[in-house]
Amino acid sequence: MGTQRYGSSPSVSDAEADAAREALVRVIAARGALTDPAWRTAFAEVPRHLFVPFFYVHGVRGYERLRGEDPDPERRSRWLRGVYTDEALATRLKDGELVSSSSQPSLMALMLDALGVEDGHTVLEIGTGPGYNAALLAHRLGDPAVTTVDLDPEITDAARGHLAAAGRHPTVVTGDGARGCPARAPYDRIIGTCTLPSVPRSWPEQCRPGARIIAPLATGLVSLRVRGTAHGPRAEGHFLHTPAYFVPLRGAHPVGDSLPYLGALPRRVAGDDLFRFLLTLSAGALDPHEALSLWEREGRPQRERYGVTVGRGRQWAWLDDPQGPYTWPLAAG
């Protein structure tokens, strides 16, 4: 075993970790992400295994924990392979429920590409998780430019340790992500890594004009541009093409898979990902049969045709046009 450059488990050599990370970068690039060379360098140089010293997988008897310090070499090998597989990893459970994870790397790369950061930008991340995404942002922009927030002090404490082990020191704040972090505002970019029922109003309010917000909403990723108006900031934009499933923002009503109306709908649409996206996005605002009629009439619209507008005191989702015939309210942010 080689000398430990990263301060990780003594059972993981530099050569093993480097080779696994290089292979992961090739997989992510092959899936169409990492179009910006700066992000490719960040993924190539930030060691994910420092941020996931253990994770949980489904076993025959429930969850099984794999860790880098396991005395069994086969289990250590499974841990390292898992860390550098292009998959989301469950990193924290509470009462059998997933409360934190390390997101799928190719999805992280897609979101970071879409964020469109430039040198000198400041970024607020909502949902620290194990700290890996914050480390990638800090690698790209520098530690002082990055603020990351999570509600759970155990999560933020662990993330600080992981970040320090990787030589990164962005600002890690324990707090309610729905409130942003006004003390460090204004921001040029906000990125959410937890599913939202709506966009918190505080986020656009803490942005500079021209800022961009990328966040999971329903089962998609919305990309919003922020501009100033006489009535305060307004954020508006379309969804990206990709599906996205994240741990819900803590304290918010969960969205996504818990759709009670599916049993009353035709079987041919109940399992359709694009219809489930519309049904989730419009839950509580559109009758499910009304949503089905819209979906069929408009030719099974892709995610990119939908969008969200966040204005003063209200926000709404829409198909094709924020002032068009197909709009519905979202919960107040």
Q: Which of 62, 78, 330 is nearest to 217 (CA)?
A: 330
Give the angle subtended at the CA of 249 by the CAs of 21 and 128, to the nearest 5°: 35
DSSP β-ladder status, 220-229 and 232-238: antiparallel
Q: Among 8, 9, 11, 100, which one carries the catalytic annotation?
A: 100
DSSP 195: B
Tokens of residue 222, six digits: 């919305």
The C-alpha atoms of residue 250 and residue 178 are separated, in whole angstroms, by: 9
Is residue 53 reached through a cis peptide bond, with omega within 30 degrees of 0 on the bond before it? no
Q: Are 70 and 6 in contact (CB under 8 A)?
A: no
Tokens of residue 133, six digits: 């995404």
Query: What percentage of the chain's residues is helix, strand, coil (to nearest 5)?
Result: 35, 25, 40
Is there a catalytic annotation at residue 9? no
DSSP β-ladder status, 97-102 and 327-329: unpaired
Tokens of residue 4, six digits: 């430990």
Q: Residue 195, by phi and psi: left (phi above 0), alpha (psi -120 to 50) or beta?
A: beta
Start-end of H helices in 46-104: 73-83
Q: Are 109 and 39 in contact (CB under 8 A)?
A: yes
Q: Other CB atoms closer than 10 Å to residue 257's CB: what's the count?
A: 10
Q: Between the CA of residue 7 and those of 24, 34, 166, 167, what are the distances in Å? A: 21, 27, 8, 10
Q: Which residues are catalytic?
A: 100
